[in-house]
Amino acid sequence: MPAEAPRGYVVDDEEAVRSSLSLLLRSAGYEVATFGSGDAFLEAARTDLPFGCVLLDIRMPDLDGLQVQHALTERRLPHPVVMITAHGDVPLAVRAMKAGACDFIEKPFSAEEILRAAAAALESGACAQHDARAAADAAARVATLSPRETDVLQGMVAGRQNKVIALDLGISPRTVEIHRGNLMAKLGVRSLSEVVRIAIAAGIRTDGH
């Protein structure tokens, strides 16, 4: 099957900017949707909007780019954002990046800058999506463990031997071995390295405290 085309969403109140960015992205193989306001984009984003890079003007009437970005974050929508800014908007762009934007591009921009930023944003956004899915899956697996199995898991990822875990928990080493086997079965893993990977993804502390 052919690879799915990358998607781009252009959000800008200037029609000329929307047209030029849309044409540029389409020429590079993107599927593109354009929006004349932040409200219009957020309305579309209420539905199951496919994953894509958002080229977002930082200064727009009504909702500005920072407000749109904040709304995306609040809704936990995964679309990576590249801010489009004017020369005097660098402080705003820095605020946007601190809030999670991938990059910002100053007007007038070159085609190369836009395409490079969009590709990098999609790559980082895809990685973030993968990490989020992995974390959710790991947390769901860990949630199936009993309290005692979770105690043993914490000891394992802290690098403690069974006899030390047993001493800490006031149980026998044989009981630790049973809990260890049970938790590994529930997590669907066969090695300590896999246990540690899932524990880290699930947010289990690995420093022994």
> Residue 17's domain is classified under what CATH number?
3.40.50.2300
pTM here? 0.66
Compute φ and ψ for 58, nearest 5 degrees: -80, -25
Q: Which pLDDT score, from 0 to 100, does residue 71 have?
A: 92
The answer to whether residues 110 and 177 belong to one domain is no
Round to whole Å and give the CA distance between 143 and 134: 14
Last residue of a domain, one of 104, 132, 160: 132
Q: What is the DSSP letter of 208?
A: -
Round to whole Å and give the CA distance between 131 and 129: 5
Q: How many domains does the chain have?
A: 2
Q: Which pLDDT score, from 0 to 100, does residue 209 have?
A: 43
Round to whole Å and give the CA distance between 45 and 202: 28
The answer to whether residues 121 and 154 belong to one domain is no
Q: Which pLDDT score, from 0 to 100, does residue 99 have?
A: 81
Domain, as residue range, for 150: 144-202
Q: What is the mean pLDDT of each run of 10 residues along the chain (209 residues)?
A: 79 94 95 95 87 92 91 87 83 82 86 92 76 83 95 90 94 95 93 83 66
Compute φ and ψ for 129, nearest 5 degrees: -60, -45
Residue 208 in domain:
no
Round to whole Å and give the CA distance between 78 and 72: 8
